[in-house]
Amino acid sequence: MSWHARSIAELAAALERGEISSVALTRHFLDRISGLNGALNALITVTADQALAAAAVADRRRAAGERGPLLGIPLIHKDIFCTDGVRTSCGSRMLDNFVAPYDATVVARLKAAGAVMLGKANMDEFAMGSSNETSFYGPVRNPWDLDKVPGGSSGGSAAAVAARLAPFSTGTDTGGSIRQPAALCGVTGIKPTYGRVSRYGMIAFASSLDQAGVLARSAADAAVALGAIAGFDPRDSTSVDAPATDYTAALDAPLRGLRLGLVKEFSESLEPRNGALIAATLDAFRALGAETTTVSLPSLPLSVPTYYVVAPAECSSNLSRFDGVRFGYRCADPRDLRDLYERSRGEGFGAEVKRRIMTGTYVLSAGYFDAYYLKAQQVRQLIAGEFRAAFQQVDLLIGPTTPTPAFGIGAKIDDPVTMYLNDIYTIGANLAGLPAISAPCGFVDGLPMGVQLIGPHFAEGRLLNAVHRYQTATDWHVRAAPGYA
């Protein structure tokens, strides 16, 4: 089996047995990137020299007796994570010239684990988008169909893993930005509990919703990768001071007695072929010993409008620091301070980012704050409460990740509201801070579809276990996009 088709555990074993060095493995993936990325546009920056140097270090560490599940394993970081000495663009013209002077905690932890960064993945500008079309660096193409979007905002991360340009990648998920592209590209992506992974060094979109996670080809691989980045970080005040668990330990636990709740509000209006896939997925889980019921979260349909108040509000404030003064894009020959602000931001930000800054500024304004921001926070509490109640009845919730498979590049970009509805099934978990995972569960029109499982806080282990058992019984996740096997 070719190196890029192997699991992280298989690669680690091969490294351990000396069948391949990290340098050779890294070179293999770099070659794949140089051959395939041109068509996919999944990476904004390829850090070949740094990668080979890091791989050599990993090989030396192994030779010195060090061990670890990610020692010498390549990966790709979403370009939202600050990487010391490497451009960190966040998919924006605003940061096209920004070389981060420090590593994000996620980056530092993976570095410490010996993982080798191959480059930085393309993404929607400032993580605002569901199709990767808002990137300053152009759209990413879906390996399953180059005319289709990969989803977003972690579209580059998802496409790169689907095209097997790396065994895994990092992503961030504010309203579905890991799970939706994972579903559309046929890979496994997990968004952990809010606070489980440090946000330090991850360029903020909506601070109360943003959460870092990983995309990989299987739950087993995702468990290894997540284990490396999860844990308390004193530099992030919202990081949870609880020990991270070994997510690989319980992967094989049987699912007998696992109570899965099909979310009524997600399943009612499903497109029939999507509905059939979810029904088949439930059958597969029942065959593994799980029990399934239907549970209702009546306020969940309000999650999209709620999100599009809360997220823009926070982003309007978070993005104020991009003012052309200290770093990033600065307009040419500013006349005065106001001109510097207006043109630097006007020229540096793309249309979707501006739309959200304006929306957010509006909903926080005097006279509108109560009707929008405060109301949205109340609905958010309501939704969180309904999730809590649901988890009294079931262990995990289950449903589709997206309403449809990948759509055409250009098909929805001019219609923001239709675009926003892509995240209808994923946003609830962000509003409630819950962990959620998307895994491949079949195809519609030859394009991959995902099933989403949502758990109570800190149930990452249970989610990975459920999906891993499902993946031992099914083979959706091992299918490669044509031409990328």
Partner 1 sequence: MMKDWEVVIGLEIHAQLATRSKIFSGAATAYGAPPNTQACLVDLAYPGVLPVLNAEAVRMAVKFGLAIGAQIAERSIFARKNYFYPDLPKGYQISQYEQPIVGRGALEIVLDDGATRRIGITRAHLEEDAGKSLHEGLANATGIDLNRAGTPLLEIVSEPDMRSAKEAVAYMKKVHTLVRYLEICDGNMQEGSFRCDANVSVRPRGAAKFGTRAEIKNLNSFRFVEKAIQHEVARQIELIESGGTVVQETRLYDSDRDETRSMRSKEEANDYRYFPDPDLLPLAIERAFIEAVRASLPELPDQKAARFVSEYQLSGYDAGVLSASRETGAYFEAVVGRVGAAHAKLAANWVMGELSSALNRENLEIDAARIDPQRLGGLLERVIDGTISGKLAKDVFEAMWTEGRDADAVIEAKGLRQITDAGAIAKAIDEVIAANPKQLADYRAGKDKLFGFFVGQVMKATGGKANPAQLNDLLKAKLGGG
Marked catalytic residue, from 22, 177, 267, 344: 177
Using rule CB under 8 A, residue 242 touches partner 1: no
Stretch of 38-46, 112-120, 185-193, 203-211 lying at the interface with partner 1 (CB under 8 A): 203-211
Tell me how far, at minimum, the Cβ of 326 lies from partner 1, in Å: 6
Stretch of 133-141, 230-238, 460-468, 471-479 lying at the interface with partner 1 (CB under 8 A): 230-238
Segments in 293-450 forming alpha helices (H): 303-318, 337-348, 351-364, 375-393, 416-420, 427-432
**Residue-wise over 3-34: b if at least 16 C-beta within 10 A, else e?**
bbebbbbebbebbeeeebbbbebbbebbebbe
Using rule CB under 8 A, residue 313 touches partner 1: yes
Using rule CB under 8 A, residue 50 touches partner 1: no
Pair 157, 30: CB distance under 8 Å: no
Which lies closer to partner 1 via its Cβ, residue 325 or residue 371?
325
Per DSSP, 172 falls in state E
> Which residue is listed with tokens 């109560």?
370
Using rule CB under 8 A, residue 337 touches partner 1: yes
Residues 475 and 223: their CA atoms lie apart, in Å, by: 18
Which lies closer to partner 1 via its Cβ, residue 141 or residue 356?
356
Which lies closer to partner 1 via its Cβ, residue 30 or residue 107?
107
- 140-199 residues in contact with partner 1 (CB under 8 A) are 199
Tell me how far, at minimum, the Cβ of 206 lies from partner 1, in Å: 8
Interface pick for partner 1 out of 238, 245, 404, 474 (rule CB under 8 A): 238
- 90-129 residues in contact with partner 1 (CB under 8 A) are 90, 95, 98, 100-102, 104
Using rule CB under 8 A, residue 232 touches partner 1: no
Q: Which residues neighbour 389 within 8 Å (Cβ) at sequence distance 6 or greater?
A: none
Residues 159 and 181: their CA atoms lie apart, in Å, by: 8
Q: Would residue 177 show up in a list of annotated catalytic residues for this protein?
A: yes
Residue type at position 356: R
Using rule CB under 8 A, residue 64 touches partner 1: no
Residues 408 and 89: their CA atoms lie apart, in Å, by: 25
Question: Which DSSP string do the residues of 109-164 spell out, in sequence order?
Answer: HHHHTT-EEEEEE--SGGG--SSSTT-TT----BTTBTTB---SSSHHHHHHHHTT
Using rule CB under 8 A, residue 236 touches partner 1: yes
Q: Which residues neighbour 292 within 8 Å (Cβ) at sequence distance 6 or greater?
A: 259, 260, 261, 262, 282, 285, 286, 398
Residues 39, 40, 45: CA angle, nearest 5 degrees: 105
Residues 172 and 200: their CA atoms lie apart, in Å, by: 12
Using rule CB under 8 A, residue 333 touches partner 1: no
Q: Would residue 153 show up in a list of annotated catalytic residues for this protein?
A: yes
Tell me how far, at minimum, the Cβ of 175 lies from partner 1, in Å: 15
Tell me how far, at minimum, the Cβ of 343 lies from partner 1, in Å: 14
Tell me how far, at minimum, the Cβ of 98 lies from partner 1, in Å: 7
Q: How many CB atoms lie within 10 A of CB 141?
A: 23
- 372-391 residues in contact with partner 1 (CB under 8 A) are 373
Residue type at position 403: P
> Which residue is listed with tokens 């500008």?
125
Interface pick for partner 1 out of 50, 317, 404, 474 (rule CB under 8 A): 317
Using rule CB under 8 A, residue 366 touches partner 1: yes
Interface pick for partner 1 out of 200, 205, 285, 308 (rule CB under 8 A): 200
Residues 300 and 38: their CA atoms lie apart, in Å, by: 40
Which lies closer to partner 1 via its Cβ, residue 81 or residue 391?
81
Tell me how far, at minimum, the Cβ of 445 lies from partner 1, in Å: 39
Tell me how far, at minimum, the Cβ of 359 lies from partner 1, in Å: 13
Interface pick for partner 1 out of 34, 320, 378, 393 (rule CB under 8 A): 320
Pair 225, 460: CB distance under 8 Å: no
Residues 11 and 25: their CA atoms lie apart, in Å, by: 9
Tell me how far, at minimum, the Cβ of 53 lies from partner 1, in Å: 24
- Backbone dihedral region of 367: left (phi > 0), alpha (psi from -120 to 50 degrees) or beta? left
Which lies closer to partner 1 via its Cβ, residue 241 or residue 475?
241
Marked catalytic residue, from 7, 22, 130, 153: 153
Pair 443, 475: CB distance under 8 Å: no
CA atoms in the 13 A half-sphere facing the CB of 349: 25
Q: Would residue 239 show up in a list of annotated catalytic residues for this protein?
A: no
Using rule CB under 8 A, residue 207 touches partner 1: yes
- 438-467 residues in contact with partner 1 (CB under 8 A) are none
Marked catalytic residue, from 7, 21, 22, 78: 78
Tell me how far, at minimum, the Cβ of 476 lies from partner 1, in Å: 35
Using rule CB under 8 A, residue 364 touches partner 1: yes
Catalytically active residues, by annotation = 78, 153, 177
List contacts with partner 1 (CB under 8 A).
Answer: 81-82, 88, 90, 95, 98, 100-102, 104, 199-204, 206-208, 234-238, 313-314, 316-317, 319-323, 325-328, 337, 341, 361, 364-366, 369, 373
